[in-house]
Every structure is written in structure tokens, then in C-alpha cells.
Structure 1
């Protein structure tokens, strides 16, 4: 099934919209984790922050590549 450029473009924008909250939340979680290193849940919060940050980077990359594919394909 062939997708139109408009559908592919909207999919890329959705990826970027999903990345935006993660781009704000991930570093905030990491900042809080590093400020509370003596807390018993330090490792769990640190892992959550790292996952959120990398998910944001992945979604940004996928969204930008999808938008480029929609514009130049």
C-alpha cells in the first residue's frame, strides 16, 4: 500500500510531537536523579531518565527522517 506524501508528513510530525514532551521530561528526571544520589530509588530514577532521553532522541531522528522522506521522495 503506497502512502501519500501528506500521510507520511503527518506521521513525521506525530513522531516529533511525541518527542517534545520526552525532550523536556527526560533531562528533568536526570537532573533530579543526580541531585538525589543518596535516595534509595536513585538507580531506578536514573534509568528512567536515560530511557526517556534516548527515546526522545530516537523519536526526533525518526520524525526528521520521515519528514525528509515525505518532502524529497
Structure 2
């Protein structure tokens, strides 16, 4: 039985996804919170939708990063 080795290309790509995710995980809630503090501002809906978009992007990149890491460790 042959031992499987880590695929380094997928490992590096997964770590890059997670490195991009980390600042977005903090930035999204901060942007949403700042929009809730200024509901009378004319750009309220734009800033709120931007914060929601950042949060959704962070969740997607986190999923993609974990999926890529698992692919590098156990995948085919």
C-alpha cells in the first residue's frame, strides 16, 4: 500500500484563501456596525449592502479554503 503525500500546490492555494478570509471576517461586521450607527446617512443602504457582501465573501472563501486544504491532504 502506497502512502499518500500532500499536494503542495493545493495546500498553498488553500492557505492563500484562508489568509484573504481572515481580514474580511473582521472587516465585514465592522462595516455593518458602522452602517447601523448612521441610519440617516444617504449612503446607509450602500454601506450596509457592502458589509453584507464582505461577510458573504468571507464565508465563501473560508469554505473554499477548507475544501482546498482537505483536497491537498486527502483528495484525489
Same fold (TM over 0.5): yes
Calculate the aligned-residue CA RMSD, in Å.
Answer: 1.0
1:9 maps to which residue? 11
1:31 maps to which residue? 33
The number of residues matched between the two structures is: 70
Deviating 4+ runs (over 4 angstroms): none
SS of the aligned residue for 1:38 comes to coil
SS of the aligned residue for 1:39 comes to coil
Unaligned segments of structure 1, at least 5 residues: none
Question: After superposition, what is the alpha-carbon deviation per residue over 1:4-36, rounded to whole angstroms, capped at 9, x for unaligned?
Answer: 701100000000001111111001000001111
2:57 maps to which residue? 55
Of structures 1 and 2, the larger Rg is shown by 2
> TM-score, normalising length from structure 2?
0.88
More helix by share: 1
What is the distance in 2 between the residues matched to 1:60 and 1:52?
12
Question: After superposition, what is the alpha-carbon deviation per residue over 1:49-69, rounded to whole angstroms, capped at 9, x for unaligned?
Answer: 000000000000000000011
